[in-house]
C-alpha cells in the first residue's frame, strides 16, 4: 500500500463544491441549516381536509395556501389564491376570481376546477371530514363561469364562511394528488401551493417540509416573498415535562405550550425568547352538567362559581401570563361587558345559597349534605393547559365548604369524549379555538356537538341562528353574541378560567417568527436562522 501526505483530488473537489454551495446559499438569502419545530400533540390524522387537530395546522399552513387570508394585525380578509371576491345581496353566493399564475408542488395548475375538486373531496360523505365540511356551513355546491372563476353556493347565509376559507382546513390541495392517493393515503403525500413542500410524515416521529423554490404568489400577510430556511423538521414533544429540556439541549429550536414556570425561567436566559400568543376561541373553562344533581340547579352552579377566587387561581397557575376569562368567548373575539361578567368571588354568598337550598354541614364530619345525600362533585380533567393544577385549586376551595370533590384525570381527547358520553360527571374541562365567534355554536345549540352541559333553550337556539344569518361585519352580529354570552352567564353554565395564551419559546438564532390570526400557526416563510 502506498501512503502519501499529499491530499487527493477528490477531497479538494468536495471542499470547493461545498464552499460554492454555501456561497450561493448566502448570496440568495437561503439558510442551509434546518429548523426543528416542536409539536405538542400527536394528531390522529394529518389531512387538514379530513382531520380536526389544531396541531396539524402548525406545519401544514406553510404547505397550503387558501383562497383568502386573514390579516393578524387588522383582522381583515386579504387576497390569497383568489385575487378578489364578491358576495351576493342575499348572502348565498360567493364568487372568487382566482390568480392565474399559481402551480401546485406537483406541477398541476391551480384553477377553478382545482377548487371544485377540493370542495368535492371535503364534502364527500365517505371521507367523513371532522371539521372542514362543517366550516362550509349550508354548502350547496359550486359553479364555474370560466376557468379562473368559481362560485360557492349556499342554501342560506353563513356569516363565518370567509373566516373558514382563510384557514388551513380549507387549504387548496392538488386535485391530482387527491385523486391518486385518496382519503386513506393522502395524508402521507400532501401537495399544496404554499411556500413549503411536504416531504415526509412518519407518525409519532416527525414531519419534514422543504422550501418551495417556485413560490411566487406570496400574500400580503407575509413579510417575505420566498422562504429562506431550506428544511424544517417537526418533532413531537407530547410530554410537557420534557419540553424545556429539549430546548436547552438543542433538540428543538421552537416549541410551544411550555409550562408557565419553565417558560418564564427560559425567558430570562440570553439564548431564548418568549412569545406569548393569545389564542382566540372558547376560553379554558369547566362546563357544568345541568342534567346531573346537584348541578342541575342554576343557583347551585352560581354558588360554586362564587366559592372560587378565579383571579387567584389564574395568577397562581399561569403567573399573570394569561388574562382571566370573563365569558364563553375569549376577549379578543367578544370583549366582555358588565352584563356578561361572571359572579365575583364571594364564599359567604355561596354558603348562604347552599344553605337556602337545604345543604347543611354535618356537626361531626363537617361534610355538606342534604338529608342523607352528600354533596359530591365529579370533575373530568384532561392533561393539557395546566388543567389538573387548576382543578386541584378549585377542589380545595370547594372542600372548604364541605363539598367532596372527585377529580378524574383522562389521558387525551378520546378519553375525554368517553367520559362525557357516560354522563357521569358534574363538570368537565374544555377549551376550543376559532377566529370567528361562531365557534360558540356547537357548545350551546340544543343539538350542538359539544353541548356537554345538556342545556337546551329555544331562545339560545334562535340567537345562534340569527348570528349565523347576520352580516359578517358590523356591531349587530357582536350584539347578538353578547346576548348569547349573557344567557350563558345568567344560567351559570360554565366556570370561565382563562383566555388561552400559548407560551412559545424560540432559540435566539430564530428570527422573524410571527403567527396567524388563529394564533397557533407560524408564518414559517418569514423565519430566518442567525448563524
- Given the C-alpha cell 394585525, which residue does it identify? 73
Distance CA 294, CA 132 (A): 38
**What is the per-residue pLDDT for 15?**
35
Whole-angstrom Cα distance, residue 341 to residue 488? 10
- Model pTM greater than 0.85? yes
Q: Find the range with the poorest average confidence among 52-56, 186-190, 289-293, 462-466.
A: 52-56
Q: Contact, 189 vs 462, CB < 8 A?
A: no
Q: What pLDDT score was predicted for residue 3?
A: 25
Note the pLDDT tens digit of each residue in 236-249: 999 989 999 999 99
What's the average model confidence in pLDDT over 250-265? Answer: 96
Is the preceding omega at residue 393 within 30 degrees of 0, hence cis?
no
Query: How would residue 273 be classed by pLDDT, with cut points 50, 70 and 90?
Result: very high
Q: Are 96 and 118 in contact (CB under 8 A)?
A: no
- Give the per-residue pLDDT at 364: 74
- Kindly report the number of other CB atoms within 10 A of residue 197's CB atom: 22
User: With 50 as the cut, is the pLDDT of residue 357 above it?
Assistant: yes
Domain 36-277+503-529 has CATH 2.60.40.10: no
Three-state SS for 160-174 is CHHHHHCCHHHCCCC
**Tens digit of each residue's pLDDT (9 = 90 or more) over 158-202:** 999 999 999 999 999 999 999 999 999 999 999 999 999 999 999
The answer on pLDDT for 396 being more than 60 is yes
Domain with CATH 3.10.105.10 in the chain: 281-499
Query: What 3 state SS string does 321-365 have?
Result: CCCECCCCCCCCCCCCCHHHCCCCCCHHHHHHHHHHCCCEECCCC
What is the CATH superfamily name and number for domain 281-499? Dipeptide-binding Protein; Domain 3 (3.10.105.10)
CA 496 → CA 391, 500, 508, distances in Å?
12, 11, 35
Distance CA 502, CA 491 (A): 30
Q: What is the pLDDT of residue 339?
A: 61
Residue 467's alpha-carbon distances to 31, 120, 135, 160, in angstroms, are 47, 27, 15, 10
Residue position matching grid coordinates 400533540: 41
Confidence of residue 4 (pLDDT cuts 50, 70, 90): very low
User: Do the strands 376-381 and 404-409 form a parallel or antiparallel pair, or are they unpaired?
Assistant: parallel
Predicted confidence (pLDDT) at residue 262 exceeds the cutoff of 50? yes
Overall average pLDDT of the 277-294 stretch: 96
CA distances from 504 to 57, 269, 282, 300 (A): 16, 14, 20, 38
Per-residue model confidence as pLDDT tens digits over 501-527: 999 999 999 999 999 999 999 999 999
CA torsion angle 10 14 15 19 (round to 10): 150
Summary mean pLDDT of the chain:
91
Candidate from 40-49, 190-199, 281-290, 302-311 with smallest mean pLDDT: 40-49
CATH 3.40.190.10: which residues of the chain?
A: 36-277+503-529
Q: Torsion angle of alpha carbons 333, 46, 216, 167, nearest 10°?
A: -20
| Residue 208, SS3 per DSSP | strand
120-145, pLDDT tens digit by residue? 999 999 999 999 999 999 999 999 99
Mean pLDDT of 63-88: 96
Amino acid at each position: 500500500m502506498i501512503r502519501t501526505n499529499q491530499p487527493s483530488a477528490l477531497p479538494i473537489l468536495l471542499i470547493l463544491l461545498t464552499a460554492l454551495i454555501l456561497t450561493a446559499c448566502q448570496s440568495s438569502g437561503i439558510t442551509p441549516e434546518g429548523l426543528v419545530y416542536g409539536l405538542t400533540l400527536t394528531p390522529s390524522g394529518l389531512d387538514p381536509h379530513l382531520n380536526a387537530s389544531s396541531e396539524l395546522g402548525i406545519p401544514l399552513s406553510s404547505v397550503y395556501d387558501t383562497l383568502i387570508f386573514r390579516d393578524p394585525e387588522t383582522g381583515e380578509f386579504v387576497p390569497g389564491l383568489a385575487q378578489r371576491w364578491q358576495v351576493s345581496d342575499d348572502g348565498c353566493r360567493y364568487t372568487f376570481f382566482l390568480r392565474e399564475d399559481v402551480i401546485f408542488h406537483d406541477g398541476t395548475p391551480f384553477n377553478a376546477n382545482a377548487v371544485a375538486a377540493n370542495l368535492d373531496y371535503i364534502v364527500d360523505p365517505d371521507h367523513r371530514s371532522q371539521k372542514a365540511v362543517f366550516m362550509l356551513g349550508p354548502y350547496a355546491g359550486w359553479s364555474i363561469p370560466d376557468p379562473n372563476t368559481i362560485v360557492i353556493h349556499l342554501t342560506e347565509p353563513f356569516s363565518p364562511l370567509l373566516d373558514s376559507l382563510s384557514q388551513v382546513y380549507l387549504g387548496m390541495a392538488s386535485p391530482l394528488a387527491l385523486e391518486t392517493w385518496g382519503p386513506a393515503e393522502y395524508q402521507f403525500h400532501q401537495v399544496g401551493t404554499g411556500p413549503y413542500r411536504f416531504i415526509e410524515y412518519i407518525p409519532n416521529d416527525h414531519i419534514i417540509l422543504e422550501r418551495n423554490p417556485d413560490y411566487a404568489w406570496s400574500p400580503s400577510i407575509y413579510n417575505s416573498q420566498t422562504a429562506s430556511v431550506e428544511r424544517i423538521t417537526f418533532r413531537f414533544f407530547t410530554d410537557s415535562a420534557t419540553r424545556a429540556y429539549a430546548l436547552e439541549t438543542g433538540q428543538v429550536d421552537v416549541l410551544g405550550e411550555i409550562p408557565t414556570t419553565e417558560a418564564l425561567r427560559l425567558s430570562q436566559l440570553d439564548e431564548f425568547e418568549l412569545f406569548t400568543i393569545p389564542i382566540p376561541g372558547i376560553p379554558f373553562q369547566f362546563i357544568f352538567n345541568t342534567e346531573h344533581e346537584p348541578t342541575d340547579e342554576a343557583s347551585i352552579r352560581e354558588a360554586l362559581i362564587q366559592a372560587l377566587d378565579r383571579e387567584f387561581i389564574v395568577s397562581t397557575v399561569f403567573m399573570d401570563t394569561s388574562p382571566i376569562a370573563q365569558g364563553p368567548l375569549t376577549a379578543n373575539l367578544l370583549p366582555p361587558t358588565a352584563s356578561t361578567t361572571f359572579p365575583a368571588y364571594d364564599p359567604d354568598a355561596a354558603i348562604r345559597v347552599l344553605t337556602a337550598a337545604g345543604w347543611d354541614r354535618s356537626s361531626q364530619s363537617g361534610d355538606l349534605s342534604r338529608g342523607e345525600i352528600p354533596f359530591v362533585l365529579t370533575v373530568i380533567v384532561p392533561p393539557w393547559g395546566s388543567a389538573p393544577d387548576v382543578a386541584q385549586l378549585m377542589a380545595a376551595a370547594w372542600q372548604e365548604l364541605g363539598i367532596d370533590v372527585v377529580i378524574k384525570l383522562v389521558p387525551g381527547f378520546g378519553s375525554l369524549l368517553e367520559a362525557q358520553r357516560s354522563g357521569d360527571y358534574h363538570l368537565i374541562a374544555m377549551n376550543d379555538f376559532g377566529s370567528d365567534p361562531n365557534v360558540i355554536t356547537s357548545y350551546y345549540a340544543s343539538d350542538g356537538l359539544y353541548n356537554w352541559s345538556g342545556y337546551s333553550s329555544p331562545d339560545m337556539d334562535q340567537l345562534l341562528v340569527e348570528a349565523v344569518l347576520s352580516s359578517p361585519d358590523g356591531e349587530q352580529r357582536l350584539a347578538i353574541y353578547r346576548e348569547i354570552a349573557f344567557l350563558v352567564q345568567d344560567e351559570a353554565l360554565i366556570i370561565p378560567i382563562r383566555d388561552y395564551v400559548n407560551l412559545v419559546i424560540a432559540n435566539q438564532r430564530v428570527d422573524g417568527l410571527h403567527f396567524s390570526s388563529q394564533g397557533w400557526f407560524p408564518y414559517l416563510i418569514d423565519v430566518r436562522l442567525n448563524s
